[in-house]
Every structure is written in structure tokens, then in C-alpha cells.
């Protein structure tokens, strides 16, 4: 959540930010209106409680000296009646106040392009030599602002056909027992998946990240503090009859693990590499990417997460992006980095980079990773602070994908097959134990 004090002092900042996101900013006016009323009531509640406490103390000493306390007791009862009325009203006001505050998004950073639609994300840089079909060359050059290197290829194969031909997955039987967007992974594809995971864990360990697998379920109120309404509604599965949700990313349990803690500044920055299953309803994606394992209800992912001091978070955002880019370079997947435009930014993020891999058969760049700086927004909801000489301050949190396992397998299948063989990226060979997948495997 945002800083309420800052909202009071500086509502224009939030107004501007919401306008940039093409959201209705009138809730800010409503907040200011009811916040004033809430403060007024709070003052009165406090002064009535003060009276009650004072009289209560009088009763206490009178009881000890044996005096008659009935009149004072009646006075307190009277105060309690008044309090009940004001407190009830004020609780209702406070509920609305907090509901509004939770709807106000993070303050957008200055370099974020103000626009709607993913097609208006701003190209930052690209890398790699892409395999591009003739009809996709225009699209490719357009997406890289003319800077992209490529080789023209005549034919591509979809990852679905490749998996079928090489006996790497069973999608139909998964659909039979679990419904759409599920899959059985088979044979060398399973080895490839485990190799990607192991490679990613080593990569982050070597760079100062503490690697961990978090609980795959967390309680509903914790999810709520770690994310926003849109994610909650579109992505999160709830366990029937329990106050538990399946995580949609390891970001949430990792962010929440320090909930309600005050850290020693010496502990910062804290760099966490999270590996976990991810469960997503994909409620807002009906009809999109329905074939194969590109968009599924269950996948695995290695995530980067950083808790840091406020002054360091923008540098760490570049570091996170750099890590993900290096992984893609090492794997040999051509990619581009875009600065996500204001209209497509989630409420938590002040700025977000999407890192998109080139998928030759789809003929376009698709999201493989996203790197966000949430500033103090997520940490304030989770109440994570650190000690400073001037008192406790809210820390900053950042998150970024390192390896989205299933999607990365699709990228590898599309980029490294010639139809007869699939070539394993060199950095993965020590982990897979083989360098090629053949149709007969």
C-alpha cells in the first residue's frame, strides 16, 4: 500500500500517477474527504477514552480508600454509550478509507512511457541472432527498432508438434484427467526441465543469492498483503475449506516471509533465489495460448527477490535485469528488453522491465521474465522495516524472473530444433548429461 501521510501531504503526486495509469483518480478526492472526517472522529474518540481512563483511575484509588464509586461508574457508563456510537461510525469510515487506500497504485517512475497496450512498451535493447521467417521479418525489425540481427529461415515447428514428434509430452491425456492447460512431461524434456532448474539455482547461488523453495501454499490474508486485487482475482487458487491459497509465484511467500519484522540494516540487502511450483487460474486469458505448455495452470519458476534499503533499489533493478539477460545469453535465446508502459503496469510496481524471448514459430517476442521495483509499496502492506538512526523505515522490495521453466523449454524447443534433432544449449549439457534430443528417444 501507499504511504497515507504522503497522500495527505501530496495528493497531486498520486493523482498524476493514477492518470498516467489511465485509472479513475476520483477515489483520491473521496479519500481526502473521509480521511478528514476519520481524523476528527478519532480525536473525539481519544478524548472520550482519556476521560474514561481518568475516571477509572479515580475509581481505583477510591475503592482502595473505601469511598462510594457509584456516581463515577455511572459517568463511565455514559461515556461508553457515546463512544459506542462514534466508534461504530468511525469503523465504517475507516473500512472505506482503507479500501480506497488499497486501490491506489504505486507512484509511477518518471522514465515509464505513458501509454496503453503492450505494443506501446518501449524498446530498450536486444540481444542475439534470431531465426526469423520471411513473413515475420517486418515484425522482428519493428520490435527491435531496426537493430535486431537475424537469419532468415524457411520453416519452423511449433513446440506442440516437436513434443509430439519427439515423444516429450502427453497433452491429451492430461486434459482428460485435469482439463485444459495441464500436461505430462516425458523423457528427455523432463531431464531438460531439471537441468534448467539446476542451472538456475547454481547461477543465482554463485551471485550471492540465498536459494530456497518456499511453501507452495500460504494463507489468504498473506497473499492479500503480498499482492493486489487483480492478481488475487485472476490468478490465485483457494483451497476449499481452508484458509490457504496455492502460490502463483514464489515472490509472494518470499516477500511475506519477513512480514511484521524489523531488520537490522546490516542484514541488507537480502538476495533470495526462489524455486517453486506456480499455480495460476489464468482467468483473464480465455482462448489465449491454448496449445501446448506456453500458458498453463501449473508450472515451475526460479525467481529473484531482493529486500534492500530505499537508496539502492534502482541499482538492484538493473542488476536483476542483467542477471536474467545473462541467463538468456548463456542459453542462446534471442531477446529484447522493454520498459513496460504505464497502462500495463501492475499496481504494486513503480517500474517494470519485461524481457521477451524470440519464438521463431510464433513469429514474435513473448514474455519470459518481468523485473519490477515495488519500492516500499509491497513492504508497507507486509509491514517490513529496518532500523535507521531516525527510527524505523519501510524497506524496498524487487522481484524478477530468472528462469520460467516451462516457457523456457518452449523457447528452447522452438529455437534449437531443425525438425530432426533438438540441440541442448551448451551450459545445460553438464546438467542434462546429453547434448541432443532425437526423435527415437
Partner RNA sequence: GCCGGGGUGGCUCAGUGGUACAGCGCCAGACUUGAGAUCUGGUUCCCUUUGUGGAUCGGGAGUUCGAAUCUCUCCCCCGGCGCCA
Give the one residue of 20, 188, 385, 396 binding RNA; rule: CB under 7 A.
385
Give the one residue of 88, 116, 291, 387 binding RNA; rule: CB under 7 A.
387
Q: How far is the CB of 73 from RNA (least distance, A)?
A: 4
Q: How far is the CB of 85 from RNA (least distance, A)?
A: 14
Q: How far is the CB of 246 from RNA (least distance, A)?
A: 16
Going along 204-269, which residue ranges are E strands?
210-212, 217-219, 237-238, 244-246, 262-263
In whole angstroms, what is the distance from residue 298 CA to residue 182 CA? 7
**42 touches RNA by CB under 7 A:** yes
- If the CB atoms of residues 142 and 392 are measured against RNA, the closer one turns out to be 392
Q: Are 435 and 421 in contact (CB under 8 A)?
A: no
**47 touches RNA by CB under 7 A:** yes
C-alpha cell at 299: 508450472
Give the one residue of 6, 8, 210, 318 binding RNA; rule: CB under 7 A.
8
x-marked contacts with RNA along 51-90 as a string, rule CB under 7 A: -xxxxxx-xx--x-----x---x--xx--x----------
Q: How far is the CB of 225 from RNA (least distance, A)?
A: 14
**Residues 246-285 within binding reach of RNA (CB under 7 A):** 262
State the virtual CA torsion across 111, 308, 383, 261 in degrees, nearest 10: 180
**142 touches RNA by CB under 7 A:** no
Query: Cell 519490477 identifies what position?
Result: 372
For the chain, the distance separating the N- and C-terminal CA atoms, rounded to the nearest angstrom, is 51
Q: How far is the CB of 29 from RNA (least distance, A)?
A: 16
Give the one residue of 10, 16, 26, 46 binding RNA; rule: CB under 7 A.
46
Q: How far is the CB of 63 from RNA (least distance, A)?
A: 5
- Is 200 exposed, middle or buried, given 0-12, 13-18 or 19+ CB atoms closer than 10 A? buried
Q: Are 254 and 305 in contact (CB under 8 A)?
A: yes
179: left (phi over 0), alpha (psi -120 to 50) or beta: left
Q: How far is the CB of 393 from RNA (least distance, A)?
A: 9
Residues in contact with RNA, counted by CB under 7 A, come to a total of 31
Half-sphere exposure (CA, 13 Å, Cβ side) for 85? Answer: 7
Beta 396-404 vs 298-308: how paired, if at all?
A: antiparallel
338 φ/ψ angles, rounded to the nearest 5 degrees: -125, 150
Q: How far is the CB of 43 from RNA (least distance, A)?
A: 5
Q: How far is the CB of 86 from RNA (least distance, A)?
A: 12
In whole angstroms, what is the distance from residue 426 CA to residue 441 CA? 19
Buried b (16+ CB within 10 A) or exposed e, 111-149: ebeebeeeeebebeebbbebbbbeebeeebeebbeeebe
Give the one residue of 24, 26, 30, 43 binding RNA; rule: CB under 7 A.
43
In whole angstroms, what is the distance from residue 175 CA to residue 169 CA? 12
- If the CB atoms of residues 14 and 358 are measured against RNA, the closer one turns out to be 14
- If the CB atoms of residues 179 and 389 are measured against RNA, the closer one turns out to be 389
**239 touches RNA by CB under 7 A:** no
**95 touches RNA by CB under 7 A:** no
User: Which among 20, 31, 292, 38 has a CA at the least distance from the CA of 162?
Assistant: 292
**49 touches RNA by CB under 7 A:** yes
Question: What is the binding site for RNA (CB under 7 A)?
Answer: 4-5, 8, 39, 42-43, 45-47, 49-50, 52-57, 59-60, 63, 69, 73, 76-77, 80, 262, 385, 387, 389, 391-392
Amino acid at each position: 500500500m501507499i504511504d497515507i501521510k504522503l497522500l495527505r501531504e501530496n495528493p497531486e503526486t498520486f493523482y498524476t500517477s493514477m492518470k498516467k495509469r489511465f485509472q479513475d483518480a476520483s477515489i483520491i478526492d473521496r479519500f481526502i474527504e473521509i480521511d478528514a472526517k476519520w481524523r476528527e472522529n478519532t480525536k473525539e474518540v481519544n478524548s472520550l477514552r482519556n476521560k474514561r481512563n481518568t475516571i477509572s483511575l479515580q475509581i481505583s484509588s477510591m475503592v482502595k480508600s473505601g469511598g462510594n464509586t457509584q456516581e463515577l461508574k455511572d459517568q463511565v457508563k455514559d461515556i461508553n454509550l457515546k463512544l459506542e456510537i462514534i466508534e461504530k461510525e468511525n469503523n465504517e469510515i475507516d473500512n472505506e478509507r482503507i479500501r480506497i487506500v488499497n486501490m491506489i497504485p504505486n507512484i509511477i517512475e518518471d522514465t515509464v512511457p505513458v501509454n496503453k497496450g503492450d505494443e506501446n512498451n518501449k524498446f530498450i535493447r536486444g540481444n542475439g541472432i534470431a531465426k526469423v521467417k520471411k513473413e515475420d521479418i517486418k515484425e522482428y525489425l519493428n520490435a527491435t527498432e531496426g537493430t535486431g540481427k537475424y537469419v532468415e529461415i524457411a520453416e519452423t515447428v511449433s513446440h506442440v508438434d516437436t513434443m509430439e514428434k519427439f515423444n516429450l509430452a502427453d497433452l491429451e491425456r492430461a486434459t482428460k484427467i485435469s482439463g485444459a492447460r495441464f500436461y505430462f512431461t516425458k523423457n528427455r524434456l523432463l531431464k531438460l526441465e531439471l537441468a534448467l532448474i539446476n542451472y538456475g539455482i547454481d547461477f543465482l547461488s554463485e551471485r550471492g543469492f540465498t536459494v530456497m523453495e518456499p511453501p507452495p501454499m500460504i494463507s489468504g490474508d498473506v497473499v492479500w498483503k503480498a499482492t493486489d486485487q487483480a492478481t488475487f482475482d485472476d490468478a490465485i487458487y483457494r483451497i476449499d475449506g481452508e484458509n490457504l491459497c496455492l502460490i502463483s509465484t514464489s515472490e509472494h511467500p518470499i516477500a511475506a516471509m519477513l512480514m511484521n519484522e524489523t531488520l537490522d540494516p546490516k542484514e541488507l540487502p537480502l538476495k533470495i533465489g526462489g524455486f517453486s511450483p506456480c499455480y495460476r487460474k489464468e482467468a483473464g486469458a480465455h482462448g489465449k495460448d491454448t496449445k501446448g505448455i506456453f500458458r498453463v495452470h501449473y508450472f515451475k519458476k526460479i525467481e529473484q527477490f531482493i529486500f534492500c534499503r530505499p537508496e539502492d533499489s534502482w541499482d538492484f533493478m538493473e542488476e536483476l535485469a542483467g542477471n536474467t539477460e545473462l541467463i538468456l545469453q548463456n542459453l542462446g535465446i534471442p531477446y529484447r528488453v522493454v520498459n513496460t508502459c504505464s497502462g500495463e503496469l501492475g499496481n504494486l510496481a513503480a517500474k517494470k522491465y519485461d524481457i521477451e524471448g524470440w519464438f521463431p514459430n510464433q513469429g514474435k517476442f513473448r514474455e519470459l521474465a518481468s523485473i519490477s521495483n515495488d519500492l516500499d509499496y509491497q513492504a508497507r502492506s507486509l509491514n517490513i522495516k529496518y532500523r535507521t538512526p531516525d527510527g524505523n523505515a519501510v524497506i524496498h522490495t524487487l522481484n524478477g524472473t530468472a528462469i520460467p521453466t516451462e516457457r523456457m523449454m518452449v523457447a528452447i524447443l522452438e529455437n534449437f530444433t531443425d525438425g530432426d534433432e533438438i540441440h541442448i544449449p551448451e551450459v545445460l549439457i553438464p546438467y542434462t548429461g546429453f547434448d541432443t534430443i532425437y526423435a527415437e528417444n
